[in-house]
Structure 1
Amino acid sequence: MTSLHLQKKLKHEQIQYVEFLSADITRAKKFYAASFGWKFTDYGPDYTAFGGDYIDGGFTSGEPIKGSILIVLYSEDIEVTKRKITAAGGLIVKDIFDFPGGRRFHFTDLDGYELAVWSE
């Protein structure tokens, strides 16, 4: 974990850190920076961390395992977020649909991980 964790109050029993395997960390950083504006701190060639207001995480070298966990990100403007993802090379695998509480879509990143984005 990074020193970023010391800067914010942790919430009891809430997701606090997510770690991805990536076949190409440089490519993952470029994709997530373009799609969501994430900032990264490198810790050698095989690990990079990202920090946010609500969750921290990292990418470590390795072959991704598809389908193990669905990470859901929030967007204030789901259409703009979808366009940013596709422009960065992401693939929409389930287009925007309504569900009780909002709208959501699923995409795969450049390593093949499936994630979702929702909006109210």
Structure 2
Amino acid sequence: MSHHHINYLEIPVKDIARTKTFFNHVFGWQFQDYGPKYSCFLDVGITGGFFESDTVFTTGKGSPLIVLYSSSLEQSQSRVIEHGGHINKPIFNFPGGRRFQFLDINGSEYAVWSE
């Protein structure tokens, strides 16, 4: 057994303030700012934060896919759209559940899944 595990996730975003607003309104996330170019997200299943960058990540560019869990997939998909995200793969089935993929307000790709 390895004594190493993923402990912290740092995500590049173009606009920290807009990103915080998006993730707060869509998923209810809370944040702790550490200066104007870094904000840590709190109690979301993994510790991490957003840092200011011109980088946009998508699976098409070879980036890992950050997958969030939702107990209400349809509601999450609606909230993503309502708050300025773009659905690039509508809800579909996969072994173990269902999910959709979206681009956030920065153009970076995430997925949301449920049983």
Aligned with 1:94 (options 66, 84, 89)? 89
C-alpha change, 1:104 and 1:59, in structure 2 (3 Å) is: same
- Secondary structure of 1:44's aligned partner: coil
Deviation, 1:96, is 0.3
| Cα pair distance change 1:86/1:30, threshold 3 Å | same
Structure 1 Cα separation of the partners of residues 79 and 48 of structure 2: 21
2:76 counterpart of 1:81: yes
Matched, 1:18 2:9: yes
Contact preservation (8 Å) 1:21, 1:60: yes
Scaled by the length of structure 2, the TM-score of the pair is 0.88
Q: Contact 2:29/2:44 (CA < 8 Å) preserved in 1?
A: no
CA shift in 2, pair 1:53/1:65, >3 Å: closer
TM-score, L = length of structure 1: 0.85
CA RMSD after TM alignment: 1.4
Whether 1:31 and 2:25 are equivalent positions in the alignment is: no
Which structure 1 residue ranges, 5 or more long, are not aligned? 1-11
- Asked whether the equivalents of residues 20 and 64 of structure 1 are also in contact (C-alpha less than 8 Å), the reply is no
Residue identity opposite 1:105 in structure 2:
F
**Structure 1 pair 106/42, CA: closer, same or farther in 2 (3 Å)?**
same
Q: Distance in 2 between matches of 1:91 and 1:40?
A: 23
> What percent of counterpart residues are identical?
49
Listed as ranges, the gaps of 5+ residues in structure 2 are none
Paired letter, 2:107: G
59, 74, 87: which one aligns with 2:50: 59
Once the two structures are superposed, what CA deviation does each residue of 1:27-77 show, in whole Å capped at 9, x if it has no partner?
000000011000000111111001215211111111123221200001111
Aligned mates of 2:15, 2:42 — CA distance in 1: 19
SS at match of 2:93: strand
Query: Do the aligned partners of 1:64 and 1:112 also contact (CA within 8 Å) in 2?
Result: no
Q: What is the number of equivalent residue pairs in this alignment?
A: 109
